[in-house]
Every structure is written in structure tokens, then in C-alpha cells.
Chains A and B, each alone.
Chain A
Amino acid sequence: MTGSKKNKKKCLLQVFLLVLPLLLFVISLGIGSYAISPRDLVGTLISTISPSSYPDIPPVYRDVLFRIRLPRLLLAMAVGAALAVAGASLQALFKNPLVNEYILGISSGAAFGAALSLVFLGRSFPPQAAAFLFAILAVLAVLLVAGRGESMSLISLLLTGVIVSAFFSALLSLVEFFASPYVLQALFFWLMGSLALAGWRDLAISFPLIIAGLLFLILFRWRLNVLSMGAEEARSLGVHVQRGKILVIFLATLLTASATAVVGIIGWVGLIVPHLVRLMVGTDNRLVIPLSAATGASFLLLADSIIRGISPLEIPIGIFTSILGIPLFLFLLKKAKRVWL
């Protein structure tokens, strides 16, 4: 009796987590420096389909909604889901809940690639390509230096990640040095992690890439359980470990690079969200991966709404997630010390 009750409660929680991003999405549409009341929101949406109804809706509402808010919210959801799923997958692969795309140097590699592309190839060339290329280079460098297979300790992974990130930051400074003042300003804002500049054009390339990456990792979710047993055990269970490893790193890098190329570095989402999800539903990746996608989307929507709601200045969201994420990371690191170092 209590078992089924517990199951029911668990099921409800899962449904809630899955529906939450949609709920937040609708609410967020009305929030911002240009507030739109719920009635006007519905009115704007309906009047777009049949212009004769709701004649009193100011046309500026439609511009705010469709040109600014809608792409921004979609991007927030996609980026949140992408970063959270990339983090959760990498954690399973490295059988270590502290690993994330930021630690592995993927974020800084992607940021350098995107900046390089923006400065030297211009805004018309999609920055995702270079972001992906350098993100892959960064993660490969980290893995090669940190050691192979079972012998890889968290401490060497962390150290190598820090060093590789520092290297790409230096390269990034070099790019900034060569950038014109006008480009530099945009670059600076973008690097802090910001959804403010998002438009449909940014979405057009990153959105499909993110959806594809999410889809494959969600389909791969149970294999992640098996891979998290460690290479030897996974192999004896019948998994082609090398192939799995390459696939997961490729997809996680694709997700991170696609996100970073348009919004800059939004760090620590891949750490905070999977941890929250595991606290709620346990460690089974069959639940953790899809629910991380949903919760990641909710998390960034919420963070973005808070930012837009509280001040007209719009603090970059990357600063916000770092302020939240780094203390959490330190706390977990301290807690985990005996197990992984």
C-alpha cells in the first residue's frame, strides 16, 4: 500500500518536472522590462491569428512578444536543457558527479572558437562550427593530459581542466585584443553569458543541433547507467566502451558548443541541475537524463525571468549561474573528498 503510494508520488513529481518548463514559459512571456498582462498576452496571441479580434491590443506588444521574447525564451529553454544534459551525461561517463562541461574545458574551448569566428569571419558566418571544433580540441587535450581509463583521478582531471581553460582564455584575450572596439563590446557582454542578444537567427542553427543532441542522449540514457559502472565492468557486461565514450563526448560537446556559440559561457548549469534531479528521483539515468533536460530548461527560464523581472539593467545570466554554482561545487567537492580524490 505504502509502496504504491510512494510510486504515485514519484510519478506525480516526474510529471510536474516535465510540465514545469511549459508553465514557466507561458508565465515568462509576460515578464520583462515591458510587462504584458495575462489578458493582453492572450489577446496578442489570438489577434495574430485573427487580426479582427482584440482590436485594442497595441501593435508593439506583438513586436515585443515575437521579435524579442519568444526567441529569447526558446533559447533559454534549449540552452538550459543542453547544458544540463551534457553535464549529466559526462558525469555518468566519467562515473563522477562533479564533472561538467565547464570543468572539462569544453565551455572555454567553445567560447574561444565562437569569438574567433565572430571577430575574423564576421557575424554572417555561423559561430557554431568553430565553437564545436575548439570545444572538441579542448576536451581531447584535457583527456590526453589527465590520463587514460581507470587511472584518471578527479584531481588530475580538475587540474588539467583548469589549465586547458586558462590556455583558451589566454587565446580569447588575444582575439579580444585584435577585435575592433565595437565588436569588443558585444563580445564582452556575450562572454559573460547572456540571453539578451538572442534573435531568431541565432536560434535557427543552434536549436536543431541542440534538439538532435538531446534526442540522441535521451535515447542513450540507459547505456549511461552501464557506462557509469566503469570501463572494465561495462565491457564485461557487453558494452563497446570506447564507442560509447566517443559518442557521449561528441554529443555533450555538440550540445555545449551549440549553446555557447549563441549565449556565451553559462557555467555550472550542468552541475546544479543534474544534482537537483538526482536528489529528487535517484541515480537512474533513464529518469535523470530526460528530467535534467526539463529541469535545465526550467532553471534557465526561471533565472532569466528573475533577471528580467528585478532590474532593467539585465545582469548577464552567466554571472548569476556562476554565483549559484561555484559554492555548490565547493560544497560537493568537500563532501566528496574522501571518495574521489
Chain B
Amino acid sequence: MSVRVKGLRFAYRNFVLRVDELIFAAGQTTSIVGPNGAGKTTLLKCLGAILPISKGTLFVDSKDLALLKSHERARLVSYVPQEHGSAFNYLVLDFVLMGRAAYVPLFSVPSKDDVRIAEEALEFVGLGSFADRTYAELSSGERRLVLIARALAQQSDILLLDEPTTFLDPRHERQVLDLVRKLAVDREKTILLTLHNLEMALQYSDNMVFLKGGEVVAWGKAEEVFKEPLLRAIYDMEMKIIDWNGRKIVLR
């Protein structure tokens, strides 16, 4: 499924996010990059209907997100938060199972099928044997994977990931991003993620969106927009892109 944003406005205190037009093609991975406070997370939350937009429309294929009921929307779009802090320490499987909320009737509990889907999602992220552990005893890398598994159990075509690799060491960063790629390739998900690591963003995504001060500065195919002048303008600092055996390295 593709996502189309038109004339989006979101205002909070003195921050305004302005997106005139953005199209995220079906089955492609798009990284949203930009400095802190550029509005990356805000854009993602608007797309996930977690924050109410003040103006504009968000279309998933031909459906206007604003006109959908909560559970209908959640079947199309799932959102993976940066981190989860709860006062209650659920078992990992119970945690992933909550991804089924959009399918379980209001006054009911998850069915055997729901449990099976949650187990499969946990298996997919490589934590099948963690079902009976509690969320609190996981490492931060494992928690990210569990959050992704929960979104996976939601069985939505569109997946929004908010900085899925922050605070992770290089190995776990790669593990999470490999998983994201696997979701795009194996499950044909349309993926939008915010990232700070520019090299990873370039390496793992088809498209890139550059945000600064709440506005889209550039967007398009990753290798086409990823240029030195743009990086300098976005981050207000000297940056150099070096080609190393076909891989691009950013010097700063």
C-alpha cells in the first residue's frame, strides 16, 4: 500500500510541521532524516494518527486515514515507538499479543489464532524462545525486537518505526535494520523509519526524506538526494561523502 500526504500541518507550541506533498510508494523503505527537533518523530506520529493533524489529508491507497475507525486504521498502519515504559511488567508473548487489539472484539479476549499470530511474529524477529520471559528482563536490543514483533502481529501493510536503532550497539543496530529489510523484502511492507545514522539510512532504504525545522528540504531516491551540499545545509556543518568500495561513508 502506498501513503500519500497532502498539505499536512501540525502545530504544537511554537513548532510547526509543514508537509505539502510526500508519497511513499508501496513496498518501499523510506528513511526520514534530519537534525534533532526537525520534526521526524512528529511526522511519523501524524502518519500513525497518534498526533492529530490540524490541516491536510493522509491517504493510504485511496482511504483517508482521518475517516477510518481506530481499529480499521490500526489494521493498515502500525507504529513502533522508540521505547516503551510501563509500570506493568508483562510477559513477552502477552506484550506482543497486544498487537492484536485491532482484531479482538471490545468485550473479548484474543483467540487461539491471535496467539498463534503473536507467536509467529515473535519467531520472525528471532525471539521465539523468549515468550515466557518478562519485558523488563530484556536488553534494550531485545526490547526493540519485541516492539517490532508487536507491530508485526498487527498485520498492517505500513510500518512506522521511530528511531529503531538509538542506544543500540553497532551489532544490534545492524540486526534491527536487517530485520527491517527482511520485513520489506519477505513481507512486502511499506516501511517508514526515522534514523540518525546517515550511512545506515542510505544503505537500508530506497528513498529518503530530509527534514529541517519542520519542513521537507528534499525527498526522493536515496542515492539521488544524498549529496554533500544537502547534508551541509541540513546539519549546518562541514560534511564529506567518501566512496569506499562502492559504499558511501560520511565524514564529519
* Contacts from A to B (Cβ < 8 Å): 3, 92, 95-97, 216, 219-223, 225-226, 228-230, 232-240, 282-284, 286, 339-340
Contact = CB atoms under 8 A, between A and B. Distances in A.
Interface residues of B, number: 35
A237 B88 CA distance: 17
A220 B108 CA distance: 7
B241 to A, nearest CB: 35
Contact of A222 (B78, B79, B109): B109
A232 B50 contact: yes
Given A226-B101, A236-B79, A221 B109 contact: yes
B222 interface: no
Given A92-B88, A235-B49, A236-B50, A223 B106 contact: yes
Interface string B76-114: 011101001011111100100011011010111110000
Nearest to B160: A236
27 contacts: A95-B88, A96-B87, A97-B87, A97-B88, A219-B107, A220-B106, A222-B108, A222-B110, A223-B101, A225-B90, A225-B94, A226-B101, A228-B87, A228-B88, A229-B98, A232-B45, A232-B81, A234-B101, A236-B48, A236-B50, A237-B154, A238-B71, A238-B101, A240-B70, A282-B90, A283-B90, A284-B90
Grouping DSSP codes into helix (H, G, I), strand (E, B) and loop, the A interface class, with mixed when no group exceeds half, is: helix
Contact of A233 (B77, B84, B102, B104): B84
Given A235-B50, A284-B94, A95 B81 contact: no
Contacts of B118: none
A234 B110 CA distance: 16
The 6 closest A-B CB pairs, nearest first, are: A238-B74, A238-B102, A219-B107, A236-B79, A238-B71, A283-B88
A237 B109 contact: no
A212 to B, nearest CB: 13
A230 B98 contact: no
Nearest to A240: B70
Contacts of A95: 86-88
A77 B99 CA distance: 36
Given A219-B108, A235-B49, A240-B70, A230 B88 contact: no
Contact of A340 (B48, B87, B101, B108): B87
B81 A228 contact: no
A250 B69 CA distance: 23
Interface in B102-153: 102, 104, 106-110, 132, 150
Nearest to A224: B88
Contacts of B9: none
Nearest to B153: A237
A239 B74 CA distance: 8
B106 A339 contact: no
With most chain A CB atoms within 10 A of its CB, the pick from B73, B90, B91, B110 is B90
Interface of B: 45, 48-50, 69-71, 73-75, 77-79, 81, 84, 86-91, 94, 98-99, 101-102, 104, 106-110, 132, 150, 154
A339 B107 CA distance: 31
A89 to B, nearest CB: 13
Given A216-B107, A283-B88, A284-B94, 8 more contacts: A226-B98, A233-B84, A235-B70, A236-B74, A237-B74, A237-B98, A237-B99, A284-B91
B214 to A, nearest CB: 20
A225 B71 CA distance: 16
B102 A237 contact: yes
Contacts of B73: 238
Contacts of B106: 220, 223
Contacts of B69: 240
A339 B88 CA distance: 11
Contacts of B84: 229, 233
A233 B77 CA distance: 13
B192 to A, nearest CB: 13
Given A216-B107, A226-B101, A284-B94, A238 B154 contact: yes
Contacts of A284: 90-91, 94
A98 to B, nearest CB: 9
A336 B49 CA distance: 32
A181 to B, nearest CB: 47
A219 B108 CA distance: 6
Nearest to A278: B88
A216 B108 CA distance: 10
Nearest to B135: A283
A220 B50 CA distance: 23
Contacts of A92: 88
Contacts of A219: 107-108
Contacts of B101: 223, 226, 234, 237-239
A164 B27 CA distance: 54
Contacts of A233: 81, 84
A282 B75 contact: no
Contacts of A339: 87
A286 B104 CA distance: 14
Contacts of B104: 222
A228 B79 contact: no
B134 to A, nearest CB: 8
